[in-house]
Structure 1
Amino acid sequence: MWNPEFEGWYFKHQKGRDTVAFIPGQAKSGAFVQVIWPEGARCFPMPALHVDRKGERVYAPGCRFGRNGISVDLPGIRGEISYGPLTPLRSDIMGPFRFFPMECRHGVLSMGHRLRGSLELPGRAVDFDGGLGYLEKDSGRSFPKSYLWLQCSDFSQPCSIFLSLARIPFCGLVFPGCICAVHFGGREYRFATYEGVKLLETGPGRIVLGQGTRLLEIFLLRREQGHALKSPAKGLMTGMIRECNRAKVRFRFLEGSRLLFDLTSENASLEAVPSL
């Protein structure tokens, strides 16, 4: 029986340089809704969080988060955004590791979906009509002590990329883990430890993943310090991470000698704690 000490959902909304993410969650230290936007981040403690039986809707006082969209009424932050059809992965991103007790389990609920609606933020309003959304979930006991998380859908062509590299404690050992999904040209491509991915390079400015005939090169061209978010440590929200939503990243994806794409974004979301 899986009894996580924390659960958190990540609802990301992006249109150009405007990215706003809501993170409703609950831990042993209580329930909360965190918000991060270009100018800042805030954590709102909640008296309770309710998750429906299917785990598809999350409710907090004044807030609703679900697969069809969100409605929020928080101090200084309010609005509604509806979602178009979600783009789920073909199977659990954790692969066979979903059957084992893990420090942290990750789930990708939608690689991309269209947005309609707007939000009022401190000092300004943002129209998200025609923007793109991304949705994921984490649960477990603690975030990894060392990890890199990267997500981007802001490209000149339809493409969505998710990547997580981490030092994973497992059965008394620690190993470098990788889960990565690429949605491009109507197809899903996956790089993962359980599928034999090789971490060919994990330097501060370049990451190279190789798996079979596929090669994914990631160039971290610019990163900012980002804004502080609370993170779980032993079931309590006592940790702190920083997330940047305006990282400049280039992605180059080859299959054999064929270049599938070479795309750069100025608005990627990035967390690196502290370095791999």
Structure 2
Amino acid sequence: MNHYFEGRYYKHQKDGQTLCLIAGKADGGPFIQVITNTHVWQYDSLAGCQIGAQGIRLDLPQIKGAVRYGPYTPLKGDIMGPFQFLPMQCRHEVVSMGHTLEGGFLIDGRMLDLSGGRGYIEGDRGRSFPSAYLWLHCNDFSQPLSVMASVADIPFVGFHFMGCICAIHYKGQEIRLATYRGVHIRHAGRDGLALAQGRYRLRVDIKAHAALPLKAPRNGQMVDTIHESNCASARFRLWESGVLLFDLTSRNTSFECTL
């Protein structure tokens, strides 16, 4: 299919160190991008990259090693909800909100031990990333919590609207906030996010952070540039019926924003 891309995002994190692998294909062919807290590597081939449900193995010029995955934590249903059946510029999926890691990678001669760390997997497919969006994910907390959220300008049958998807896994409970469930986007920008839906209120405050450049799709070609941080400091708060469920901070939030 022309003007089409698809890719998956594999996040590995332990003790403040992160390695994210983005593997996929676009009009120009297959690609791999690897981003850590401080560096980005880009490859125009899937050679040297083995990916399976049980983990990944890398044999790239600067990065070698393998990591095994523990049991996934999937969502109860497609994060796109009923929008999965409609023609969309970009479709998002969440494969695992969190899983254990075993193994590590040798990166430019230095070992990154990820055993005992946490992983996360998501994916995108379509033609282009939204022209303006916010995306964040974090599962590095002092309590069992994983939060994924995105707000984006969505073109749809001749008009645009701001859409939102958000999944929260907290102590075994899944909470879903989304446009198709009536969420109100009270704020979305480089300093964070505020959502309200029914009895739930979510607020994420993002502090200033350094971001690294990654390639992104436009009309099926990896010709755009976005910037992602894997070590943004953030404060996450969730209220249910006015009662504070959690107030947790992390210095290892993954964050992108073009709003």
Q: Output the TM-score relative to the length of structure 1.
A: 0.91
Where does structure 2 lack aligned partners over 5 or more consecutive residues? Answer: none
Counterpart secondary structure, 1:98: helix
Aligned match of 1:40:
39
Q: CA deviation at 1:222?
A: 2.9
Aligned match of 1:227:
212
Counterpart secondary structure, 2:98: strand
Equivalent residue runs for 1:176-187 within 5 Å: 176-187=162-173
Counterpart of 2:233, as a letter, is: K
- Aligned residue pairs total 259
Q: CA deviation at 1:221?
A: 2.1
Name which of structure 1's ranges 203-212 and 150-159 shifts more when overlaid on structure 2: 203-212
Q: CA deviation at 1:257?
A: 2.1
Identity across matched positions, percent: 49
Aligned match of 1:211:
197
Aligned match of 1:199:
185
Equivalent residue runs for 1:85-96 within 5 Å: 85-96=71-82
Aligned match of 2:25:
26
Instruction: State yes or no: 1:173 paired with 2:172.
Output: no
Contact 1:27 1:235 in 2 (8 A): yes
- Quote the Cα distance in structure 2 between the aligned partners of 1:14 and 1:4: 33
C-alpha distance 206-227 of structure 1, shift in aligned 2 (>3 A): closer
Query: CA-to-partner distance for each residue in 1:158-199, whole Å, 9 max, x for gaps?
Result: 100001110000111100000000000101001000000001
Aligned match of 1:159:
145
Query: CA-to-partner distance for each residue in 1:71-130, whole Å, 9 max, x for gaps?
Result: 010011010000000000000000011001110000000000000001011241110010
- Quote the Cα distance in structure 1 between the aligned partners of 2:185 and 2:38: 34
Instruction: State yes or no: 1:245 paired with 2:226.
Output: no
Runs of 4+ aligned structure 1 residues displaced above 3 Å come to none
Contact 1:150 1:268 in 2 (8 A): yes
Aligned match of 1:12:
11
Counterpart secondary structure, 1:194: helix
Q: CA deviation at 1:205?
A: 2.1
Name which of structure 1's ranges 70-79 and 3-12 shifts more when overlaid on structure 2: 3-12
- Quote the Cα distance in structure 2 between the aligned partners of 1:106 and 1:3: 19
Counterpart secondary structure, 1:161: strand
Counterpart secondary structure, 1:222: coil
CA RMSD of aligned residues (A): 1.3
Where does structure 1 lack aligned partners over 5 or more consecutive residues? Answer: 47-59
